[in-house]
Amino acid sequence: MAQRLAAWTQVTKRSALQDMLELTSGPEYISFGLGLPSTECFPAEQLARSAGEVLQQSDHLQYGPPTERLKQQIQRLMSQRGVQCSTSQIFLTAGAQQGINLLARLLLDPGRTILAEEVTYTGFLQVVEPFQPRILTVPTDPVMGIDVEQVEMVLQAGERPACMYVIPSGHNPLSYTLSREKRQKLAQLAADYEVPIIEDDPYGFLAYEDSEIPAVKSFQPDWVYYVGSFSKILAPGLRLGWIVAGGEIVEKLSIVKEAADINTGTLTQQITANFLQKDEFTDHLQHLRREYRSRRNCMIDHLCTQMGDYASWTIPSSGLFIWVRFPESVNTMELFRESVTTEKVTFFPGNVFAATQSQMAASSARLNFSFNNHDKIEEGIARLSRLVKRHRK
C-alpha cells in the first residue's frame, strides 16, 4: 500500500507528541497545550438563536455561493484592522487553516522556496509539506519578532521565495506582536521585491492593550494576502475564516476551493452573518478581551511567584500563548514527558515549532492561557513549578 502513496507521504509522520496530547485529554490533566479558546466564552445562546432563525428557511441548507451579508460584515471588521477592501476582495474559507492551504496551492510549485521564521506555526509547515519546498528561515525572537533586516538581506542577496509567511499579531507560538515600523518595512519589502506575504492573523482582534497595530496588509494592499478567522473570536466549531486578496487571486481561489470542498458551509455562514448583524459581536469581543487579559495576568502572576527566579517570558499583548524560556541546559521535550506522567500537566515543548534547529526553542515551552479558568491556571502552574524545582536539583 505505502508504495502507492505520493512520495512526500513516505517521509511525513504523525508526531509522537500529538498522540501523547490525545492520551492526556482526561479530566485529571490540566492542559496548557493546545491553543483552545475558552469554552465558557462561546456565545452559545446567541448562536442558537441565530441558528433557529436561519433554519426557518430551508434553502440555507442548500449548496450555495458565499453569503454577501457575511462578506459585508467582514469588510467592516477589516476596517478595524486598518484594511479598506471591497466585498469582491473577500473570500470565505473553512477557517484560517484552509485559507493558508488554498493560498499555498496557488503560490507554490513543487520544490520552490518559501520564507518563514525559524520558529513558526506548525500548521503552516504541514500545509507546505506536500510541495517539498526549500524552507528558507530567518531568525525570530519572542520579544522583537521576525528579523526584518535579515529578510531584507536575503532578498537583496537574490533570493525570490514564492511567499513569506508571517503571524504579526499574537504570534503562535512566540506570542510577540510585531511593531508598526517592522510591519511597514515588511510590506515595503514585499512590494519592492515582488514577493507576496501570507499574513496569518487569527489573533489580530484579540488585542489586550489599548493600542491596536494595523495589519501588514493595511500598508501594502497588493502584495499581502490577509488570512482571518472566526475560530478564536467566535468559535472554532464554526470552521469559518476568510482571505482578503485582489480580484484576480479571489477568482483563482474559488477554483481551488471548489476542488477542495465545493463551498464553505452555508449554514455556518448564515448563522455567523445573523449573529454579526445583531451588533452583539462588539460586546462579545470586549468580553473576550477582558476575560483573556485576566487569564493572561493570572498565569503571569503565578509564573512570577513560582518560577520568576528561573524562567523568563514576555507579557503578550495579543493572542493566546505565553512563551516561557528556561536556561539553555533545560530540554523542554524531556520536561514535557515528565510533566505528563508525574504532574499531569500538558504544554508544547518549543522544539515542536522549530522549522530548523533552534537552541532557543529547545529550552522553551508554549503555554496556553485562554482555555483554563483562574483556579486551574493556578493549580497547573503550581504543578509545573514543582516539576521544574525537581529538575533544578
Ligand X SMILES: Cc1ncc(COP(=O)(O)O)c(C=O)c1O
Distances (CA, A) of 365 to 152, 222, 312, 326, 376: 29, 36, 11, 8, 18
Among residues 67, 172, 268, 332, the one that binds ligand X under rule CB under 6 A: 172
175 binds ligand X, rule: CB under 6 A? no
- The whole-angstrom separation of Cα 168 and Cα 214 is 10
Q: Which is nearer to ligand X, 295 or 302 (CB)?
A: 295
The DSSP output letter for 128 is H
Interface residues for ligand X in 288-307 (CB under 6 A)?
A: none
Candidates 58-66, 92-100, 135-143, 274-282: pick the segment binding ligand X (CB under 6 A): 92-100
Among residues 33, 35, 142, 350, the one that binds ligand X under rule CB under 6 A: 35
Length of the chain: 393
Q: For the window 205-234, what string marks contact with ligand X as x by the rule CB under 6 A?
A: ------------------------x-x---
CA nearest neighbour of 130 among 102, 149, 105, 164: 105
Q: Which is nearer to ligand X, 71 or 302 (CB)?
A: 71
Cell numbers describing residue 280: 452583539
- The whole-angstrom separation of Cα 238 and Cα 96 is 12
Q: How big is the site for ligand X, counted in residues (CB under 6 A)?
A: 14
Candidates 60-68, 91-99, 261-269, 286-294: pick the segment binding ligand X (CB under 6 A): 91-99
- List 30's β-bridge partners, or say none: 345
Q: Closest-CB residue for ligand X?
A: 95
Q: Return the exposure string of 50-89: e unless at least 16 CB atoms fall within 10 Å of the residue's CB, then b.
A: bbeebeeeeebeeebebbebbbebbbebbeebbbebeeeb
In this structure, the number of other CB atoms found within 10 A of the CB of residue 211 comes to: 8
332 binds ligand X, rule: CB under 6 A? no
Among residues 73, 200, 219, 361, the one that binds ligand X under rule CB under 6 A: 200
Cell numbers describing residue 162: 514564492
Q: Which is nearer to ligand X, 155 or 174 (CB)?
A: 174
Among residues 21, 119, 167, 299, the one that binds ligand X under rule CB under 6 A: 167
Candidates 89-97, 130-138, 279-287, 304-312: pick the segment binding ligand X (CB under 6 A): 89-97
131 binds ligand X, rule: CB under 6 A? no
Distances (CA, A) of 65 to 60, 101, 126, 257: 11, 20, 29, 12
316 binds ligand X, rule: CB under 6 A? no
Contact (Cβ atoms closer than 8 angstroms) between residue 81 and residue 201: yes
121 binds ligand X, rule: CB under 6 A? yes
Candidates 41-49, 94-102, 346-354, 365-373: pick the segment binding ligand X (CB under 6 A): 94-102
CA nearest neighbour of 389 among 348, 342, 354: 342
66 binds ligand X, rule: CB under 6 A? no
One-letter amino acid for residue 45 of the chain: E
Handedness of CA 287, 71, 107, 188 (dihedral sign): negative
36 binds ligand X, rule: CB under 6 A? no
Among residues 21, 83, 96, 207, the one that binds ligand X under rule CB under 6 A: 96
164 binds ligand X, rule: CB under 6 A? no
Contact (Cβ atoms closer than 8 angstroms) between residue 348 and residue 365: yes
139 binds ligand X, rule: CB under 6 A? no
Candidates 20-28, 52-60, 95-103, 357-365: pick the segment binding ligand X (CB under 6 A): 95-103
- The whole-angstrom separation of Cα 260 and Cα 273 is 23
163 binds ligand X, rule: CB under 6 A? no
168 binds ligand X, rule: CB under 6 A? no
199 binds ligand X, rule: CB under 6 A? no
Contact (Cβ atoms closer than 8 angstroms) between residue 177 and residue 170: yes
241 binds ligand X, rule: CB under 6 A? yes
CB of 237 to ligand X, least distance (A): 9
Q: Note the residues at the interface with ligand X (CB under 6 A).
A: 35, 95-97, 121, 123, 167, 172, 200, 202, 229, 231, 236, 241
